[in-house]
Amino acid sequence: MSISRREFLGAGATAAVGVALAGPAQAESVIVSGVSPALRRLADNRPAIISSANGIRGVAKAREMMLSGADPLDAAIAGVNIQELDPSDHSVGLGGLPNEDGVVQLDASCMHGPTRRAGAVGALEDIATPSLVAKAVMDYTDHIFLVGAGAKRFALEMGFKEQNLLTDEARQIWLKWKANHDSNDAWLDHDDDVKIAFTHGTINMNAVTASGDIGSVTTTSGMSYKIPGRVGDSAIVGAGQYCDNDVGAAGSTGRGEANIKIAGAFFVVEQMRGGASPEEACLRALQRAIQMTESRLLDERKRPRYDLTYYAIAKDGRYGSANIYEHLQFAIADARGARLESCAYLFTDSERPRGAVPMHTLTH
């Protein structure tokens, strides 16, 4: 059972304003007092793996691999590979929505708890599985982060297959966006049956084995129609994902620019180190992100005009996820099997600023 907004706020309706406007210390006290201990997930269900909702197939596969003795990072990457190679998921890998020039650029990062190593790639083109390229950076180089043409050259040298990632469906969506982007340009509208899609999600996956070893990975095609060369949080260790083998792992989907500024995944793990449950830690990170948001992205009630979700798992198998607004789900696989559960949240959908697109309506 997920913590509802009412249970989270605890003190009553007036606490809603306090959560939105409080400073860090005050916000944390509200969160701690508002969480019912009975709702904290305390059972050790390892091996366990948590992911964004589009990873429901991946968490099942990853847990099956860990039950057979697989390394947690290998299992998590195998899980996200399912989405990277699925052309129907327009937020990652093959079929991901392109930048404003029609080019698919991918970001990914990973961490391996037992060895304390990490790898990342940014603005990678023509390689469908950036998560595996990030792991190759970790495994075969003394570096952590490769970008652009250098990342692609490295991938090709490592034997990765080059392919066109812009599928016909994604191309049609991009052309529709391009035709509607500026009413004064020379592009004519076309194909009324093609729906313009916007993505700023991804797939994050965090795994813990039966013995408590941890791995994490995040991979994405990033914000749709982005300025070429834009790299979001997914490629940044400590923002898009982070793990510490003594504590747990965390990651995010949603607006990367908001997450980067607070090093969100690192923040969540450090909150767990200090004693917060995974769900509490995710809620605290959302609070911090809102506090660090510029006014142009907030409405008059200080509600964000964007969405952001955190996912976390502790070394003992406890897990949790939180989104700014309600009605979002995450994927979890543990002793009870693979399933979707509801994220905790700060605000109801009725409090969402007018014109803001709910994340659960997007391919994320």
- CA separation (Å) from 95 to 87, 121, 328, 348? 4, 18, 23, 32
Q: Taking CA 44 as the corner, what is the angle to CA 84 and CA 54, rounded to the nearest 5 degrees?
A: 20
CA distance 106 to 125: 6
Q: Given the residues 129, 202, 209, 220, select the one marked as catalytic.
A: 202
- The strand pair at 203-208 and 145-147 is best described as unpaired
Is the CB of residue 96 less than 8 Å from the CB of residue 128?
no
Active site residue 202: yes
Say which residues have a Cβ less than 8 Å from residue 89's Cβ, sequence separation at least 6: 54, 83, 95, 96, 203, 363
| DSSP-derived secondary structure letter, 90 | T
CA distance 108 to 268: 19
Say which residues have a Cβ less than 8 Å from residue 94's Cβ, sequence separation at least 6: 84, 85, 86, 87, 128, 163, 165, 167
Give one word for 222, left, alpha or beta, with left for phi > 0 and alpha for psi -120 to 50.
Answer: left
- Specify the DSSP element, H or E, that contains 20: helix 15-21
CA distance 216 to 206: 4
CA distance 125 to 111: 22
SS3 (DSSP) at 337 = strand
- Residue (of 36, 74, 45) closest to 313 by Cα position: 45
Catalytic residue positions, numbered: 202
